[in-house]
Amino acid sequence: MPAAPPPVPPLPARLDRLRAEIIGRPAAAREAPVGEPLYQAVRRIGALDLDDPEELVRHLAERPDAVLRAEAFRIAREALRAGLLPAAAARTIIEGLAADVPDALSELAGPWAVLDPLPHERMRRLLEAGPAGAAIEVAARHGHRDLLTGVAADP
The answer to whether residues 138 and 71 belong to one domain is no
Tell me how far apart the alpha carbons of residues 31 and 34 are, in angstroms, rounded to a whole number. Answer: 9
The answer to whether residues 70 and 121 belong to one domain is no
Tell me how far apart the alpha carbons of residues 142 and 136 are, in angstroms, rounded to a whole number. Answer: 10
The answer to whether residues 14 and 80 belong to one domain is yes
Please report the pLDDT score of residue 155 as a whole number. Answer: 58
**pLDDT bracket for residue 1 (50, 70, 90):** low
Tell me how far apart the alpha carbons of residues 19 and 33 are, in angstroms, rounded to a whole number. Answer: 14
The answer to whether residues 18 and 76 belong to one domain is yes
The answer to whether residues 22 and 66 belong to one domain is yes
- In tens, the pLDDT along 21-74 reads 999 999 999 999 999 999 999 999 999 999 999 999 999 999 999 999 999 999
The range of the structural domain enclosing residue 48 comes to 10-87
Residue 3 lies in a domain: no
Mean pLDDT of 5-21: 88
Q: In the chain, how many domains are there?
A: 2
Tell me how far apart the alpha carbons of residues 149 and 128 are, in angstroms, rounded to a whole number. Answer: 14
Residue 64 lies in a domain: yes
The answer to whether residues 15 and 73 belong to one domain is yes
The answer to whether residues 79 and 140 belong to one domain is no
The answer to whether residues 52 and 118 belong to one domain is no
Residue 43 lies in a domain: yes
The answer to whether residues 79 and 32 belong to one domain is yes
pLDDT, averaged across the chain: 90
Tell me how far apart the alpha carbons of residues 120 and 139 are, in angstroms, rounded to a whole number. Answer: 9
Domain's final residue, options 55, 87, 119: 87
Residue 96 lies in a domain: no
- In tens, the pLDDT along 97-141 reads 998 898 998 999 999 888 888 888 888 888 887 557 888 888 888
Tell me how far apart the alpha carbons of residues 44 and 35 are, in angstroms, rounded to a whole number. Answer: 15
What region, left, alpha or beta, does residue 9 occupy, with left being phi > 0 and alpha being psi -120 to 50 degrees? beta
Helix, strand, coil abundance in the chain, percent, nearest 5: 70, 0, 30
